[in-house]
A and B are shown apart, each in its own frame.
Chain A
Amino acid sequence: MKPLLQMRGITKTFPGVRALDGVNLTVHAGEIHALVGENGAGKSTLMKVLSGVYPHGSYDGEILFDGAPVAFRSVRDSEEKGIIIIHQELALVPLLSIAENIFLGNECARGGVISWRETWARTEALLAKVGLDEAPQTPVERLGVGKQQLVEIAKALSRRVRLLILDEPTAALSEADSEKLLDLLLELRAQGVTSIIISHKLNEVRRVADRVTVLRDGATVASHDARAETLTEDMIVRDMVGRPMENRYPPREGRQAGEVLMEVRDWRVAHPEHAERIVVRDVSLRLRAGEVVGIAGLMGAGRTELAMSLFGESWGRKLAGEALIEGRPADISRVDRAIASGLAYVTEDRKELGLVLDEPITFNVTLANLAGVSRRGVLSPREESRVAERYREAMVIRTPGVHQKVVNLSGGNQQKVVLSKWLFADPRVLILDEPTRGIDVGAKYEIYTIINRLAAEGRGILMISSEMPELLGMCDRIYVMCEGTVVGELSADEASQERIMSLIVKHRRQAA
């Protein structure tokens, strides 16, 4: 097999940092090539060099595509050659239809007049190829993230893609949707499409990749041929972090379940726009001090909606239910009251809902508790710096200084800033929504350690996660949610992926 793409000795420097240092990457035609590495290892930078976001001349090294050297000056140049990137943040126009999105900028038109018949026919053929059963006229905003991803792939196929690059394609997907997507990748491979997949989920990498290249600190540290050798996740992790990782979850020590901290009774919430849609249905749950309790479920099970409606009714319209904190009915009808009652919610979407990206760490860490760094409404910059510095040390936030804008931090460090913000508000109950989404293995372990420490301090942790191994590795108890209701509760001893899935499947069968 001949290489489709060769990147040789790619070096890219930014003021003060060498992001890539002589990276080599060889991708053969017709393979699925996984690119793995911790956040900040240089994966995204490498892909930006490849796609022309960083134009030719702004980096050293050479790129050969189809054996010939190429010099992309913009994304358009690379797309012309059939190199197409699907980013983590999808680039679809929500109000346009599937068909319009697929052919955006590449319309089936003659003299500027669009032929809708042809557009729809071709869209249908593409949708069949990616296994999406939707009408071409459906607005994209009505699709879930998983389906939107398929639209993106269909869009890439419409442009005669030769090299498809997927950046964290399953980060926002449920297990079932992820499976579907991976199957699709294998199918596309059979049809001759070459792809590069960037992923933190090593089980997925193992499942689909023919070859795995590992980056660390801006350099290629290993390139494995998965067909020639049996790859284990441990091997990959060792390459990624540069040391063997014995345990992916820190031991749960010093934790002791105490008094009931929070109790929720018959919580019922309607969709904010469609009043007749009940999204959270009579949920009751209990959380003790020192406990880490998981909420498992698939995408759309209503977990985030439950969490956000508990946190000051910041999602949907609450119809019924009450919340007790330390045995007393608590007023959590507004975010500031929920915070005053001792609640904190660490969002799954840190960039959109958690951080003010253009502001420094100090600004973000103190935002939920400005009273803690001010006197009579006057801020003390000295106190702010001191607080931020304290959390930088306690959480090991890697940054040149606490006055650095958070937009410049890596995902894991941003997550630590969000956690710091909530810890500074000193809550009794923390609701963590996908606390390790899009974070590399090393930083995940650090976040887990922090979670354990918080529980050991006697706080209650409610943890929502779509990664079942994470829940199984971290939680003392797990509630399983499906279609807005709690369909089961499992203790740490009872819980397993199979038990969780069977509870969900059973509920669905009964509902149907």
Chain B
Amino acid sequence: MTTETAQGTAAAAPAGGAIRAYLTGHLREYGLLIALVAIMAFFQVLTDGTLLRPVNITNLFLQNSYIIIMALGMLIVIVGGNIDLSVGSVLGFVGALAAVMIVNWQMPVWVTVLACLLTGIVIGAAQGYWVAYWGIPSFIVTLAGMLVFRGASLWLLEGQSIGPFPTEFQRLSTGFVPDLLPWLGEPLAALAGARRVNGLTMAVAALASGAILWLGLRARARDRAYGMELEPTAFFVLRNAIVIGAILFLSWKLATFRGLPNVLVTMAVLTLVYAFITERTTLGRRIYALGGNRKAAALSGIPTERLTFLTFVNMGFLAALAGLIYAARLNVATPKAGFALELDVIAAVFIGGASMSGGVGRVVGAVVGAFIMGVMNNGMSIMGIGIDYQQVIKGLVLLAAVIFDVYNKRKQA
């Protein structure tokens, strides 16, 4: 017994050193995940379990969908070395436009949606043009845009709120995917003693979990084959256990409520698409090069101006999409819609590890960053903490996240 323990310690000691070295190098990534889990646990306790009630989880997704959708575009803008302060106003403007078109002009929903998305693209292009081809700092161009579109939505709405929207439009945000696999849900419900279980939700969750595990294992095998630094097995297992556990847990909650919200599907698909673009395509690679060293990128034959332009076009498109979802969720367009929302979006991206100077940041980080903000918003609201304290706390969390980043970088150097 004694010898066994001694051997065990001896074997563990060098491994412990390697794990510590690995951890200091990758503290950021784990830190983010751990922070999210910790914050959720914290509010779960403080709200007496309200946070993770099925209805609230559904709400969490609905409430944060537009922030996450815009964070995807903002991440790309920031990685490209710019910033977009106008997205809150653009979101409000597009919502107003949708309300005017549908409610006042009685236009069909699909025409409105297309026109609004197109409007977002045009707005993005109009701002991106000055930044990309005239070299005007994005801070200034989009600050101007923020004022212009705030004013434009006031003008469109004539200072009034316009609503409500037809159900068809509301479904963009508050609708749920119909359960295509009820035969799967029934036995599950019987098994768990739940009133009902959405089969499709659980099937999707199982598929997603499987895919995550499979892709993770594949990437790991590739890393090993190419002699890249390998994540310690314990970390790999733990990280995937947390992620998959969270997916299954949240899906179960959703499944026992009303199933998959439409918006969650939109969000998940967009996240996957943008993660793929940024990490695996030449287009994404060029954006990182642009933000990392614009001159070197230009001298490598990368069309830096056009690329900058496109990052803003993309941002405009996503801001418009978020605007539609936002309006559909509130079921009314108001002149105040989206006020100061750009700050939440930018904060999410920086909490997610992006760098102000460009070239650094990941889509997954931005999404987790947005959830951290979202859970805090939601948790504090449930607890009845005033908006005043909420702002202070959110500000401090943003600052802490960035200080943590800088501290971490310094320790590595």
Contact = CB atoms under 8 A, between A and B. Distances in A.
A222 interface: no
Contact of A377 (B227, B283, B298): B283
Interface stretch (B62-70, B130-138, B284-292): B284-292
Please name the 3 residue pairs, one residue from A and one from B, whose CB atoms are nearest each other, closest first: A356-B292, A336-B301, A370-B282
A113 interface: no
Contacts of A379: 280-282, 285
B139 to A, nearest CB: 20
Interface string A353-372: 11111110001000110110
A345 interface: yes
A353 B296 contact: yes
Interface string A295-312: 000000000000000011
Contacts of B280: 378-379
Contact of B299 (A354, A374, A401): A354
A49 to B, nearest CB: 16
A47 to B, nearest CB: 18
A367 B222 contact: no
Nearest to A388: B226
A355, A367, A401 — most chain B CB neighbours (10 Å):
A367
A354 B301 CA distance: 12
Given A336-B301, A339-B301, A345-B299, A358 B282 contact: no
Given A355-B293, A378-B280, A378-B281, A368 B227 contact: no
A403 B299 contact: no
Interface string A381-399: 1100100000000000000
Given A358-B292, A382-B226, A401-B227, A363 B299 contact: no
Given A352-B295, A403-B229, 7 more contacts: A354-B299, A356-B293, A363-B289, A368-B301, A370-B282, A378-B280, A379-B281
A382 B281 contact: no
A311 B302 CA distance: 13
A216 interface: no
A401 B228 contact: yes
A335 B301 CA distance: 5
B128 interface: no
Given A381-B222, A403-B228, A371 B301 contact: no
Contacts of A345: 299
A485 interface: no
B299 A356 contact: no
Interface residues on A, range: 20 to 34
15 contacts: A311-B299, A338-B301, A352-B293, A352-B295, A352-B296, A355-B296, A359-B359, A367-B285, A367-B289, A367-B300, A367-B302, A379-B280, A379-B282, A382-B226, A401-B227
A370 B222 contact: no
Interface string A263-283: 000000000000000000000
Nearest to A368: B300
Contacts of B293: 352, 355-357
A370 B228 CA distance: 21
Contacts of B21: 15
Contacts of A359: 288-289, 292, 359
B143 interface: no
Interface string B163-198: 000000000000000000000000000000000000
A429 to B, nearest CB: 15
Nearest to B283: A377
Nearest to B355: A358
Contact of B226 (A339, A370, A385): A385
A436 interface: no
B360 interface: yes
Interface of A: 15, 311-312, 314, 335-336, 338-339, 345, 347, 352-359, 363, 367-368, 370-371, 374, 377-379, 381-382, 385, 401, 403, 421, 425
Interface in B202-260: 222, 226-229
A367 B280 CA distance: 14
Nearest to A401: B227
Contact of B285 (A357, A358, A363, A421): A363
A380 to B, nearest CB: 9
B303 interface: yes
B297 interface: yes
A375 to B, nearest CB: 10
B297 A356 contact: yes
A176 B139 CA distance: 44
Contacts of A347: 299
A382 B221 CA distance: 11
A459 to B, nearest CB: 18
Contacts of A335: 298-302
Given A367-B289, A377-B283, A353 B226 contact: no
Nearest to A407: B413
Contacts of B299: 311, 314, 335, 345, 347, 353-354
A207 to B, nearest CB: 36
A251 to B, nearest CB: 32
Interface in B359-391: 359-360
B406 to A, nearest CB: 15
A15 B20 CA distance: 13
Interface string B294-331: 01111111110000000000000000000000000000
A354 B294 CA distance: 10
Contacts of B302: 335-336, 367
Contacts of A363: 285, 288-289
A461 B13 CA distance: 55
Given A357-B293, A379-B285, A314 B298 contact: yes
A24 B39 CA distance: 54
Nearest to A403: B228
Nearest to A311: B299
Contacts of A368: 300-301
Contacts of B303: 336
A374 B282 contact: yes
A304 to B, nearest CB: 12
Given A370-B286, A379-B281, A354 B296 contact: yes
Interface in B6-58: 21
A382 B280 CA distance: 12
Contacts of B282: 370-371, 374, 377-379
A359 to B, nearest CB: 6
Contacts of B281: 374, 377-379
B230 to A, nearest CB: 12
A485 B280 CA distance: 46
Contacts of B227: 401
A314 B282 CA distance: 22
B301 A353 contact: no
A425 B303 CA distance: 16
Nearest to A14: B413
A235 to B, nearest CB: 37
